[in-house]
Amino acid sequence: DAEITQSPRHKITETGRQVTLACHQTWNHNNMFWYRQDLGHGLRLIHYSYGVQDTNKGEVSDGYSVSRSNTEDLPLTLESAASSQTSVYFCASSQRKGMKDGYTFGSGTRLTVV
Amino acid sequence: GQQLNQSPQSMFIQEGEDVSMNCTSSSIFNTWLWYKQEPGEGPVLLIALYKAGELTSNGRLTAQFGITRKDSFLNISASIPSDVGIYFCAGQLGNAGNMLTFGGGTRLMVKP
């Protein structure tokens, strides 16, 4: 069965370190998205990609970067982790066009920056 | 950016009660979706709506796409403890391509 997998599920890192969160999907979806979820803020879009070599900034992109070298993966990198980036991160994917099935979400990565 | 106003923010109800939550916006949406997020998991799609006025059910869940295309509601009948979670509405704007806008979520708690 097709799936979308995030790893790790939990991570603790120190302020200033570079951290990469993985997202891998086997749906063959062109569109991939990264969100962060914080209490009181719902889901906020960090970065998204509509295909290989395509990346775009979302509403809270400062301090984050992504790269899309293949269809299956969209890793999210925190260049220099800050305590304000402590959050739960969700990756999602969707088909090329239309919203017939909406987004499919991963199970999330809980990141703590100490 | 565009915002969806979702209400209520939280609900604490007794098992067996019916639940209603809604999302409104000043913008017109082409598609409305409702997701449920259980603790420790990502949101899962419950219902998708594609036409103004559309009413769709999924078991005890019923959702409607508002006639004005600026709102949607989700009803849960005869709630049970496993309905606990955060419910999100999401909408696709006409000019937003493949982008969804999410509401802030409704946290539902059910007392057995």
HEC readout, chain A: CCCEEEECCEEEECCCCCEEEEEEECCCCCEEEEEEEECCCEEEEEEEEEECCEEEECCCCCCEEECCCCCCECCEEECCCCHHHCEEEEEEEECCCCCCCCCEECCCEEEEEC
Sign of CA dihedral B77, B80, B81, B83: negative
**DSSP-based three-state secondary structure for B94:** coil
Lowest mean pLDDT among A69-73, B13-17, B99-103: B99-103
Contact B92 A97 (CB under 8 A): no
Average pLDDT of the segment spanning B45-49: 95
Q: What is the DSSP letter of B101?
A: E
Confidence of residue B58 (pLDDT cuts 50, 70, 90): very high
Helix (H) or strand (E) holding B111: strand B106-111
Choose the closest CB to B42 out of A96, A98, A106: A106
Q: Is the peptide bond before B43 cis (omega within 30 degrees of 0)?
A: no
Contact B80, B40 (CB under 8 A): no
Sign of CA dihedral A61, A64, A65, A66: negative
pLDDT per residue of chain A (114 residues) written in tens, 0 to 9? 889 999 999 999 999 999 999 999 999 999 999 999 998 778 999 999 999 999 999 999 999 999 999 999 999 999 999 999 999 999 999 987 766 778 999 999 999 999
**Interface with B, mutate which of A27, A43, A56, A60 (most B CBs under 10 A):** A43
How far off is chain A from B36, nearest CA to CA, in Å? 11
* Phi and psi at residue B99, to the nearest 5°: -105, 135
Residue B31 confidence (pLDDT) above 80 = yes
Contact B23, B9 (CB under 8 A): no
Residue A107 with chain B: CB contacts under 8 Å: 40-42
The Cα diameter of chain A in Å comes to: 41
Contact B104 A42 (CB under 8 A): yes
Residue B23 with chain A: CB contacts under 8 Å: none
Task: List residues of A whose CB lies inside 8 A of any B CB.
Answer: 31, 41-43, 48, 50, 59, 90, 92, 94, 96-108
Q: Is the peptide bond before A75 cis (omega within 30 degrees of 0)?
A: no
